[in-house]
Structure 1
Amino acid sequence: MADIFESYTTGLESPATHLVAVVPSDTTDLDQASRALNTATSGTVQITTVSGTIATVFVNAGTTFPVRATRIWQTGTTATNIVAMY
């Protein structure tokens, strides 16, 4: 399959090129900081951002929530089937 965009530089405004299922953990960081998150069910997601801020945010199911997260916490997270996009 041809990819007419393969020679373009990927930036933060570009569509995600990798999708990784997230298992929330109170002790383990993501392998790579996210560009955004998506959830299958609406709910709260406790995150640590690349700046080190820890916050609990509400994410609507099926929407892209732009955030540079390094950890998705099990504690404080009620949303399910979380996908990190980068």
Structure 2
Amino acid sequence: MTDNFRDFTGGLESPATHLVETSPSDTGDLPVTSRALNVGTAGTLRVTTIGGTTATVYIAAGIPFPVRVTRIWQTGTTATGIVVMY
């Protein structure tokens, strides 16, 4: 496969190169900080950002939501099919 962009350095505005399906947890952080989140079923996500703030946000299904988070909380999360993009 040809990768026409292999010689370019990726930045925060670049598309994600890794996708990880994840489950929310009230006790554990994500293994890697997100670049964006995506969900299969719309709903709320209670998240802690890389800056240390915790809030509940609404995420629409199938649309990447650009936010850098370290934790997705089980309590306060109703969205399902969560994919961490980085």
TM interval, short-chain normalised: over 0.9
- Counterpart Cα distance in 2 of 1:54 and 1:72: 9
Give me the whole-angstrom Cα distance separating, in 1, the residues matched to 2:15 and 2:60. 19
Kindly report which structure 2 residues correspond to 1:14-33, keeping only aligned pairs within 5 A, or say none. 14-33=14-33
- Return 5+ residue gaps in structure 2 as ranges: none
Code of the aligned partner of 1:82 = I
Q: CA RMSD in A?
A: 0.5
SS of residue matched to 2:8? coil
Deviation at 1:7, TM superposition (A): 1.0
CA distance in 1, matches of 2:6, 2:25: 34
- Which runs of 5 or more structure 1 residues have no equivalent in the other structure? none
Q: 1:69: Cα distance to partner?
A: 0.4
* Matched residues, number: 86
Matches within 5 A, 1:1-86: 1-86=1-86
CA distance in 2, matches of 1:6, 1:33: 23
Distance 1:7 1:55 in 2: 38
Q: Under a length normalisation based on structure 2, what TM-score does the superposition of the two structures give? A: 0.98
Q: CA deviation at 1:84?
A: 0.4
TM-score, L = length of structure 1: 0.98
- Cα distance in structure 1, aligned partners of 2:10 and 2:73: 28
